[in-house]
Amino acid sequence: MTERGSTEAAERTGTARPEAGARDEEAVSRFVEGFAAQLVEAGMQRMPSRVFAALLASDSGALTSAELGGQLQVSPAAVSGAVRYLAQQHMVSREREPGSRRERYRVHGDQWYEALTSREAVLKRWQSALRDGVDSLGEQTPAGRRLAETLAFFDFVDREVAAMMDRWRAHRARVFADD
């Protein structure tokens, strides 16, 4: 099949790709909504999921509240609440537009790393509370044993996540060295 023939076939079947540098906004929207649905299924709230996916899919990785609201067809209040949640989870950051009072919301290339490592403080608090529980209930009681096993699990996860993050940093440096 000729190049023209394959292009025409792709157009008929709806599989045509945009030219280099062009964005197929419909395809972007499908990605944003589809990825957001996956995040919701994993337990994230719907609006933060949509905002995060939209930021992730933007070329700059940063959008204003108005841009997010327009793209997602939601109110500024919905965007604000979503961004507040995402900032608390260390998944996005706020930055001022130079010479303006407007804020831009940015997703970073290492957002997953940041989000996962920010959980470390929560994990440490859980471990401390579980240690107190084991001490209070006694490790030989059924409840104390259950708490001790839960504590052992979190200790294991803590060590494994730390080692995995070290491996990720080395892998990222190799794979994305020219970034």
Rounded to the nearest integer, the mean pLDDT of the chain is 84
Statement to judge: residues 92 and 118 lie in one domain: no
For residue 79, pLDDT over 80 is answered with yes
Structural domain range at position 64: 3-106
Q: Of 58, 73, 106, which closes a domain?
A: 106
Please tell me the total count of domains within the chain. Answer: 2
pLDDT tens digits, 110-160: 777 777 767 777 888 899 999 999 999 999 999 999 999 999 999 998 889
Specify whether 94 is located in the same domain as 147: no
Q: Phi-psi region for residue 61, left (φ > 0), alpha (ψ -120 to 50) or beta?
A: left
Q: Are residues 115 and 52 in the same domain?
A: no
- pTM, 2 dp: 0.69
- If residue 105 lies in a helix (H) or strand (E), which one and from where to where? strand 103-106
The domain boundary residue, chosen from 86, 106, 126: 106
Q: Based on the domain organization, do 64 and 94 belong to the same domain?
A: yes
Between CA 149 and CA 92, with CA 162 as vertex, the angle to 5 degrees is: 110
The token pair that represents 39 in the structure block: 């995040």
**Among 75, 106, 137, residue at a domain's last position:** 106
